[in-house]
Structure 1
Amino acid sequence: MARHLTLVSAPADPRALLPHLRAALEGTAPLAVLPAGPPAAVDAARTLLRPQEPLEPGADLVVVTSGSTGGGRGVLLPASAVVASAEATMRRLGGPGAWLLVLPVSSVAGLQVLCRSVVARTEPTVPARGEGLAAAVARMPPGRRYAAMVPTQLRRFLEAEAGGLRALDAVLVGGAATDPALLARARDEGVTVATSYGMTETAGGCVYDGRPLDGVRVRVTEGGVELAGPVLALGYRLDPEGTAAAFADGWFRTRDAGSLGPDGRLTVHGRLDDVVITGGVNVAPQAVEAVLREHPAVADAVVFGRHDEEWGQRVVAAVVPVPGAEPDLDVLRPWVRERLGGPAAPRELHRIAAVPTLHTGKPDRRGLAARITAAPAADERH
């Protein structure tokens, strides 16, 4: 008998999803959560998921990707992969515990917070509107307490409520590259923080602080980082060609550049698709962003490539200034050059009020690049 998806809109109180998730993890009612946001985004997700079409065998959850590397996709997750991820996470962090939810539940990271709560049989805590982090943490059940967040949230909480972070037994940070300086600052503040690397196709984070979770295997090929293990998705909703291109022989091709150290620890260098080739030199945007954020006049940054007649591509930086500061290219270009070399130094600078994000909380690098490319440069050097 054919199975069909149940589509549920992201509710104001994410805990309303718990009965649906329990049914999905039991294999009785396949579920997809529509992202909150403008009607066009919801309609696009609904069209992508096509609930009228029978669901692929073995899938219990379908999660729409952010589209940070192109068009969004519906990732087919079996309950076994989600549970394997949740159980391995609990073992790595020190045992079952209660979770604080500060991520959107339409993303795999936010959804996994709820799934881990279901598996651990604990009640997730959701901050009330206007409630501070410390107050929300204080309401969490006794025992071990965890949270998952993106780097931007970690930075903001450190500035406003480091005490709330310190009260947690572990903080998982993922969804985007985390600056080493930010991690060092968090740890200096007494926060137990771990980096989480993974994606929707691996049921969320599957490599913590460079080391794979139990059962997860990692290898690095010319095509980038590849992952295998019980946490893998089955493929993409109604997309056999995309599935065949990304999944083969039990491995998922991430298209992330990376390397394995002598001790087997994985270091991720960023998306292969995001690398800027300027004057024949490969520049990793994440490395430039990290250096820019170290400048005292820069609160946040996004870096990408833009066509250049002379260099092939130029490095473009969009920065969020620290209040009262006005960083310019004459200052930031030598700052980057001294630390990463000439090719990495931005040749174009834009000042923005905030870094735009996707529904998952990740920086919307492509969307920002498209808007800036259509506008004149605020500051430019050749």
Structure 2
Amino acid sequence: RATHSRLGGPGRWLLATPANYVGGLQVLTRAQLAGAAPTTLDIAEGFRPDAFAAATRDLVGAPGPHSEGPYYTALVPTQLARLLAAGPEAVEAAAAYDAIVLGGARLDDELARRAADAGVHAVSSYGMSETASGCVYDGFPLEGVSVRLGEGDRIELSGATLTHGYRLRPDLTAKAFTADGWLSTNDVGSFHDDGSLVVLGRIDDMLNTGGVKVPAAGVEAALTAHSQVRAACVVALPDVEWGERIAAVIVPEPAVPESADPASGDEAPGDRPPPQARGDLDEELRALVRERLGRAAVPKLLRYVPELPLIGPGKVDRAAVRAVFED
């Protein structure tokens, strides 16, 4: 109900993420509350922008409650990025929604800008299974939710969306909740001057190099601000001299050749930057991080991969990313 209140009232929902995760489950719950059966996108064989466009047409064209909208869906940022890169039909479908709630991973500034330029209303959400999915939208808590910063700027949440605890694990429940009933998350944050929450990253993703603490999410945001970077993941590797050294895995943005069909999703072998161009891109990326976050935050190692390894919808498998540097 709080989601509908924030977005513009009850409406129709497209389920485009797995229903066995809390984000997908919440789409079904919202559809039930709205009294309109959800349209379901089959993602058993992966997410395809053309299938998303077809499902959107079904959603908008079906008779019944809320036939005039509003229309909503929930995606992870990787899905949104693929829609924006897939061509006019996919972008038009994304723009048909009154709001697309983004969760599962951080929505970086560059992707948010590209969505806005394309007329897509993307809403960044922050939450987790313990909060019944996203409970902070675009930095501001939903009605009935409160946010504060605890020790070490750890994000703490309260409100009716919280779990009562972990089943058969009173030890975990006692560890996760403060004495006054707030959920103590594993994320670090800060507040903008307007009071909106900024999620800096998970506590265990804070990097410490040469005694300087660097948020991995901040380095990733700087890297993905480059036009030739689709996605990035930053991790810490053991280092005798620095304690930890910063390493980054980069998914380069493909260049679409004139002969390619943007909606096909296919990439020719030459779509990605050739090896001889990587040196220049390396330097540009390091300069971008240095300018935004300072010298200590600059990655000492960069690797390029076709896609980031995932664990769950939109969540990067950082252990697998670290393994990239073991080769």
TM-score of the superposed pair, with normalisation by structure 1: 0.72
Q: Superposition pairs for residues 147-166 of structure 1, below 5 Å? A: 147-160=73-86, 161-166=90-95
| CA drift at 1:128 | 4.3
The count of corresponding residues between Structure 1 and Structure 2 is 288
Q: Does 1:275 align with 2:275?
A: no
Hey, what's the Cα distance between the residues in 2 that align with 1:360 and 1:240?
28
> Aligned partner of 1:372: which letter?
V
Hey, what's the Cα distance between the residues in 2 that align with 1:198 and 1:103?
16
Q: Superposition pairs for residues 220-299 of structure 1, below 5 Å? A: 220-223=149-152, 224-248=154-178, 249-299=180-230
Does structure 1 conserve the Cα–Cα contact (< 8 Å) formed by 2:77 and 2:314?
no
Hey, what's the Cα distance between the residues in 2 that align with 1:267 and 1:335?
20
Identity of aligned residues (%): 47
> Aligned partner of 1:192: which letter?
H
Does structure 2 conserve the Cα–Cα contact (< 8 Å) formed by 1:106 and 1:360?
no
* Structure 2 partner of 1:145: 71
Structure 1 residues without counterparts, runs of 5 or longer: 1-86, 377-382
* Structure 1 partner of 2:262: none
| CA drift at 1:179 | 0.8
| Candidates 352, 362, 372, aligned match of 2:324 | 372
Does structure 2 conserve the Cα–Cα contact (< 8 Å) formed by 1:106 and 1:359?
no
Does structure 1 conserve the Cα–Cα contact (< 8 Å) formed by 2:235 and 2:321?
no
Q: Superposition pairs for residues 24-39 of structure 1, below 5 Å? A: none
Hey, what's the Cα distance between the residues in 1 that align with 2:146 and 2:203?
20
Q: Superposition pairs for residues 351-362 of structure 1, below 5 Å? A: 351-362=304-315
* Structure 2 partner of 1:33: none
Q: Equivalent residue of 2:39, what SS? A: coil
> Aligned partner of 1:324: which letter?
R
Hey, what's the Cα distance between the residues in 1 that align with 2:167 and 2:190?
30
| Candidates 272, 282, 291, aligned match of 1:324 | 272
> Aligned partner of 1:134: which letter?
A
Does structure 2 conserve the Cα–Cα contact (< 8 Å) formed by 1:337 and 1:344?
yes
Hey, what's the Cα distance between the residues in 2 that align with 1:345 and 1:237?
42
> Aligned partner of 1:245: which letter?
K
> Aligned partner of 2:76: which letter?
V
Segment drifting more, 300-309 vs 137-146:
137-146
Q: Superposition pairs for residues 8-23 of structure 1, below 5 Å? A: none
Structure 2 residues without counterparts, runs of 5 or longer: 254-270
Q: Equivalent residue of 1:237, what SS? A: coil
| CA drift at 1:90 | 0.7
TM-score of the superposed pair, with normalisation by structure 2: 0.83
Hey, what's the Cα distance between the residues in 2 that align with 1:330 and 1:250?
48
* Structure 2 partner of 1:88: 2
